[in-house]
Chains A and B, each alone.
Chain A
């Protein structure tokens, strides 16, 4: 059991490219930490640095009170699950799991006990003699998990372990991983680009962008109070509506708060179709452009009457002037209809003009 601490960790490649620009994260013993961000944000590099597969060019990585910067992967007492599983194709399932134990000179009897126990937990007992190529994607994924847990390491590292599975299996395995981690109570770091996976798995969520940490914290706290416009639009699907506060239409409603803030964000579910104008809130007239009915809820895409200017760049961004509204049920206005939507004051997220700072009103 161990905590993992990253102190001002940096990674600069020989070409001068800075992949990690000083990251500070503290993962307490037994916690499940998820690194989330768009591709190229450095989350996988950071994980590989913790594993010892990439060198650390600045700062310190501390596992269980020991700085591991100069320690070989094998001696860091970690286990890793790779995106492509990285099973040894020439070895049986049993040998895949036993390999790491044999390398450490464990007695065969003890290896057998551990592998069989892991196989029982992961429901692999019937296929211990098979080769990886005779297994389905989900089974291979479980072998990769098994290989990690038999070692009983201090820390589990997961590098997008579910991204090669189909949608249904991904949800099932997500729950399995969470249950397993809770039971073993092993500190874990998990990398994903899927914000839903991140929200559901994490005790502590680290949102990364461009080699930097945007926000660290409890997933729900991050959802409720995103620190930057990047986090606001990355966490939550469909993304938060981000609008400039400059147009008079919005400015007049914000009574003074707009002077400081450059951007206002409103989550799609915080809008309601109404004729009322809540005090201090925001009301917008929209023309319905498209409707998506997904069963329990409906997404309404509307365009504002006034062309809006683009706000600080964010992932999954909507075209300027377009707004998503999420309403329960399947009753939706018709396409082309003019509607009015409003959000109350406590549901507004205010950010500085560059999107880097949250303003608490």
Chain B
């Protein structure tokens, strides 16, 4: 369906899109351009001289084992967050879809965490799992677990994944619930009469019919884990201990703003920008393909 508006004046349409364009230009294209330019420059430690170094920042970056480690870590985090968040949200959605008393109440409660800002999520989980302050930490230690995410990199990584996945469950839950409710009840009833037990019914009917939703959410969750976990990491671990929770986005921040290596930080931003473009492209393709089964 094509919608065409006819304007009397040639200038009016330009005037109407101008505010939006101005915002995008000032807050996205201008900084992006700055980053691209910065990524080709090298500054001395005191900021006294700047020289144009072509791709040296990129070459250094790709040779740096710490960067490579951050790439691997980011992908691991993303998949761990996406998979755990998706599977738990799906479980909750399947439960909440059943006709139970008070379903509106717990559906609302399940959606609430989405309204919590990532840094707040970080703080909440710290209160529960901080080695000396945390409520749960006491029980963990009492149970004989050597719980100290401030020193143990794997525990810190687990903590980040836990908090980030928890935050995203609400969003996934909402989409899964909508997806489940879009499937006619009679299809499940037909499967029940056809002799499929609940587990088999889930894997042969519910899951395939939700696959478009699952693909869409997988992309959204990976993008989230890539870019939106900064607040959680910054409040919970600040990338530590060591570099065990430094993701690509956090590395841009710590190398540039904390480490003062603006050239490398800019080069990293440009790499990230390219990743965003690719992921967004994939996302659009999935959103537009409405029926995939």
Contact = CB atoms under 8 A, between A and B. Distances in A.
Answer whether A and B are interacting partners.
yes
Interface of A: 51-53, 72-74, 78-80, 82-84, 86-90, 99-100, 103-104, 133, 147, 151
Contact of B194 (A53, A74, A83): A74
Contacts of B194: 74, 99-100, 103, 147, 151
A203 B283 CA distance: 57
B219 interface: no
A82 B291 CA distance: 23
Interface string B163-192: 000000000000000000000101101111
Given A80-B190, A80-B193, A90 B208 contact: yes
B293 A89 contact: yes
Interface in B256-293: 291, 293
A316 to B, nearest CB: 29
Contacts of B193: 51-53, 73-74, 78-80, 100
B196 interface: yes
Nearest to A98: B194
Contacts of B204: 99
Interface of B: 184, 186-187, 189-197, 200, 204-205, 208-209, 211, 291, 293
Residue from the set A51, A82, A86 with the largest chain B CB neighbour count within 10 Å = A86
A74 B195 CA distance: 4
Given A90-B208, A90-B293, A82 B186 contact: yes
A15 to B, nearest CB: 11
Contacts of B195: 74, 100, 103-104
Chain B contact residues: helix, strand, loop or mixed: helix
A74 B209 contact: no
Nearest to A99: B194
A286 to B, nearest CB: 48
A88 B183 CA distance: 10
13 contacts: A51-B189, A51-B193, A52-B193, A53-B192, A74-B192, A80-B189, A82-B189, A86-B189, A86-B190, A88-B187, A88-B190, A103-B194, A133-B291
Contacts of A89: 187, 209, 293
Contacts of A51: 189, 193
Contacts of A147: 190, 194
A155 to B, nearest CB: 11
Contact of A82 (B190, B211, B293): B190
Contacts of A87: 187, 190
Nearest to A81: B190
Contact of B186 (A74, A79, A84, A100): A84
A348 to B, nearest CB: 45
B158 to A, nearest CB: 36
A84 B196 contact: no
Contacts of A79: 193
Contacts of A74: 192-197
A86 B293 contact: no
Contacts of A80: 189-190, 193
B202 to A, nearest CB: 13
B184 A84 contact: yes
Nearest to B208: A90
B230 to A, nearest CB: 38
